Structure 1
C-alpha cells in the first residue's frame, strides 16, 4: 500500500499536465482553423471586389 500512496501524487500531476497540454493544443488548433477561415473570406472578398471593378478593354 505505501507504493500506491507514493505513486498517486505523481500520477495526478501527470494527468493534470496532460489535460493542460491537451487543452492548449485544442485551443491552438481551433484558433488556426478560425484564422484560416477568416483569411479565406478576406481572399474571396478581394476577388469579388476585383471582379466587380471595371476593366479597360485593350
Structure 2
C-alpha cells in the first residue's frame, strides 16, 4: 500500500496535466478550423470594383 501512496500524487498531477493539454489543443484546433472557414468564406465573396480596397 505504501507504493500506491507514493505514486498516486504523481499520477493525479499527470492526469490533470494531460486533460489540460488536451483541452488546449482541442481549443486551438477548433480556432484554426473556424479561421479557415472564415478565410474560405472571405475568399469566395465577389470583389466589387467600387470597394476602396481594390483601388
Query: Aligned pairs, how many?
Result: 49
Runs (5+) with no aligned partner, structure 2: 50-55
Q: Structure 2-normalised TM-score?
A: 0.83
Structure having the larger proportion of residues in helix = 1
Moved over 3 A (4+): none
Q: How well do the aligned residues superpose, as a CA RMSD in angstroms?
A: 1.1
Runs (5+) with no aligned partner, structure 1: 54-58
Does 1 or 2 have the higher relative contact order (CA < 8 Å, sep 6+)? 2
Q: Which has the larger radius of gyration?
A: 1
